[in-house]
Structure 1
Amino acid sequence: AVRLADDRRDDPLISVALGPHSVYALSEGALREVATVARESGLPVHLHVGELPNENDLSRERHGVAVVPFLERVGMFATHLIVGHGIWLDDDDRRTLASHSVGIAHCPTSNLRHASGIADVVAHRDHGIPVGIGTDGAASAPTLDPFTEMRLAIGLARVRALDAEALTILDVLTMATSEGARVLGLPDIGSLDPGCHADMVNIDVDGSAFHPVVDPGDVLTHLVWSGTPADVRHVWVGGTLVVRDREPCAVDVDRAIVEVDRRARRLAGS
């Protein structure tokens, strides 16, 4: 990972992080080594934390303490730590994570698919923890659809709180953009400000799903509750047009599908 990061250091489109799975899957020595490498290299660390209801029990069995105190013990809070999931956390955990500027990647589809639980996103944010919206990868959320994740994030937060205003439209859009950038430690993405990358999408709002519009804010409400990837007309990455009229500009999709299937069959047979 460190070699890859060094090779790609000048590539503005690729960021590398260390990805140990979890406290219960690795030894204390391995996690200490990850923390040391992260500090020395400046690479962030992504770690599953609070995904399972029995995770603290597993940590106590293996390491003698619950997950969050264990992370402190191995020096993980001296790194830029990104917590995946963060479902089974209490307020003491949240205060600790907030004090160390840890961010959380909230993965609604994955949490539903695996019956992991419902993250208390409102409590995380109330404690000052930035929360971004993730997917947990294609194995858990095969469509990698940010619209679905936004919709589930706002719905689950409201159901958990039994409050239809617990998470607002602007809250969830912020989590999907600038707040997610904070979680990743990437200040030059996630917003259209001077000095930031010109990462933009053009949404076709002429369809029936985006109406009626009585107030301009209604468009954003429709975007979260009704938007789909099919509504994305153009995409720019770093100012470069990469999708025009819903078609990739530099990718042969048919050829890519054939190649993906070929590699999948090779891996399945290995």
Structure 2
Amino acid sequence: MSDRIPEACDLLIEAGFVVPVVPHGVVLEHHAVAVTGGRIVAVLPVPEARSRFAPRETVSRPDAALIPGLVNAHTHNPMTLLRGVADDLPLKVWLQQHIWPIEAAVIGPDFVADGITLAIAEMLRGGTTCVNENYFFPDVQAATYKRHGFRARVGLPVIDFPTAWAASDDEYFDKADEVHDQWRDDALIATAFAPHAPYTVNDANFERVRMLADQLDIPVHLHLHETAQEVEQSLEKHGQRPIARLDRLGLVNERLIAIHMTQLTEAEIHLCAERGVSVVHCPESNLKLASGFCPACALERAGVNLAIGTDGCASNNDLDMFSETRTAALLAKAVAQDAAALDAFSALRAATLGGAKAIGFDDRVGSIEPGKEADLVCVDLSALETQPLHHVVSQLIYATGRQQVSDVWIAGRARLRQRMLVDIDIEGVLSNARQWRERIAGIRLS
């Protein structure tokens, strides 16, 4: 027996299974994770953890899998308030005749703050601890995420027409600089440039984005090759496919977070691999809008970093990363015509470390390793829907529902405890949602 005095730690989480993501393909049975100062200090068998540590708090979940917090790598979370307003329409009609006119009538700081608060509550209950956000009023977004202790990379919008956020090109960039400067050293919040898409941003603004992203050392978050129509229009207008145009402008590099990517040639896939581009696969939104199929398996096998995103609730219609990741895995098999494509471990990696890497947070989160921040999720696998438990990660990807998330921590701070949200007024959130429903219902579309 050792006479060593136990080490103090803030939190010890004991789980039936720990899925660290790194190393790949590993499941650790009857392990514990020790947390101090918001960071993971050890991952070790439960008996050793009990001997080594004297925790201030112990959470024991013998029927649960402990996984890294899920990273939703592409969201428009204020649009949670537009859930279901214009369903079953093609992308162009949906966007131009419904979403944009409604947004023009309601968009503002209150809409953004209330939509994000609703989204945070939904995401926490589904095991998501980090988002890559893309919307207007990034100052309000950042403040709202920070207030709720939620990790986010917030997009700094750039688009070729006036909006409620900015009236001119210079104002978009001036405000981007202000928001970035305000949050540059924050522990939870970071920024990225978010030029909307190749069909809504001109060459001069793309060149400006590239220059400033290099100077500020931040990513570029961009919808790209979302539909066949986008590619056809680019060929007509620019004589190039969108990704070739971006390459000409110097944007196809390791900073690029390319969203959707449903229309890709083999050469474009290899270009992304060579340049270090990350691709965010949003399968349910692409399916619902009939936008096409991202070749997720081909991208992964070529060496492209693959992440998962839900897109916004106006086109999905939820923020359920368990459902999204299952759909991604299943769709990858159908598209590749290969049942081995995007296996369960690879799908979980895409939903965690792949997303963290895409948004430049992989040194902080995305896997359960000592030194990383304790963004952690307990998933109860004791329910009959996930029994018998032959293969933990297969159950997580192919059978688990988000309602099985029991506990969530961000930087070691409890945000969901035995299915109860911590420090979020659910009744207030629901009341705000109902008020926005009434206001949006009264909007007349021309």
* Same fold? TM cut 0.5: yes
Partners in 1 of 2:430 and 2:190 — Cα distance?
25
| Preserved contact between residue 28 and residue 63 of structure 1 (Cα < 8 Å) | no
| Preserved contact between residue 198 and residue 236 of structure 1 (Cα < 8 Å) | yes
| Preserved contact between residue 105 and residue 132 of structure 1 (Cα < 8 Å) | yes
**Aligned positions of 1:58-207 closer than 5 A:** 58-77=233-252, 80-187=255-362, 188-207=364-383
- The one of 223, 229, 236 aligned to 2:409: 236
Q: Partner of 1:24: helix, strand, or coil? A: helix
2:435 aligned with 1:257, yes or no?
no
> How far 1:248 sits from its partner (Å)?
0.8
Partners in 2 of 1:209 and 1:57 — Cα distance?
45
Moved more, 220-229 or 54-63: 54-63
Partners in 1 of 2:340 and 2:252 — Cα distance?
33
Partners in 2 of 1:79 and 1:168 — Cα distance?
25
Higher relative contact order (CA 8 A, sep 6+): 2
Larger radius of gyration: 2
Give 5+ residue unaligned stretches, structure 2.
1-175
| Preserved contact between residue 103 and residue 183 of structure 1 (Cα < 8 Å) | yes
Total equivalences in the alignment: 267
Partners in 1 of 2:305 and 2:267 — Cα distance?
16
| Preserved contact between residue 35 and residue 78 of structure 1 (Cα < 8 Å) | no
Question: What amino acid is aligned across from residue 248 of structure 1 in structure 2?
Answer: L
| Preserved contact between residue 192 and residue 220 of structure 2 (Cα < 8 Å) | yes
- What percent of counterpart residues are identical? 33
Partners in 2 of 1:137 and 1:116 — Cα distance?
15
Partners in 2 of 1:78 and 1:266 — Cα distance?
43
Q: Which residue of 1 aligns with 2:202?
A: 27
- The one of 6, 9, 15 aligned to 2:184: 9
- Structure 1 residues 148-167: Cα deviation after superposition (integer angstroms, max 9, x where no partner): 11110011011112221122
> How far 1:261 sits from its partner (Å)?
3.7
> How far 1:264 sits from its partner (Å)?
5.8
**Whose strand proportion is higher, 1 or 2?**
2
Partners in 1 of 2:180 and 2:426 — Cα distance?
28
> How far 1:117 sits from its partner (Å)?
1.2
TM-score relative to the length of structure 2: 0.57
Partners in 1 of 2:422 and 2:240 — Cα distance?
51
Question: What amino acid is aligned across from residue 114 of structure 1 in structure 2?
Answer: L
> How far 1:263 sits from its partner (Å)?
4.8
Partners in 2 of 1:248 and 1:10 — Cα distance?
28
Question: What amino acid is aligned across from residue 240 of structure 1 in structure 2?
Answer: R
TM-score relative to the length of structure 1: 0.93
Q: Partner of 1:17: helix, strand, or coil? A: strand
2:226 aligned with 1:51, yes or no?
yes
| Runs of at least 4 residues off by over 4 Å | 263-270
Partners in 2 of 1:82 and 1:193 — Cα distance?
25
Give 5+ residue unaligned stretches, structure 1.
none
> How far 1:182 sits from its partner (Å)?
1.3
Moved more, 2-11 or 151-160: 2-11
Q: Partner of 1:16: helix, strand, or coil? A: strand
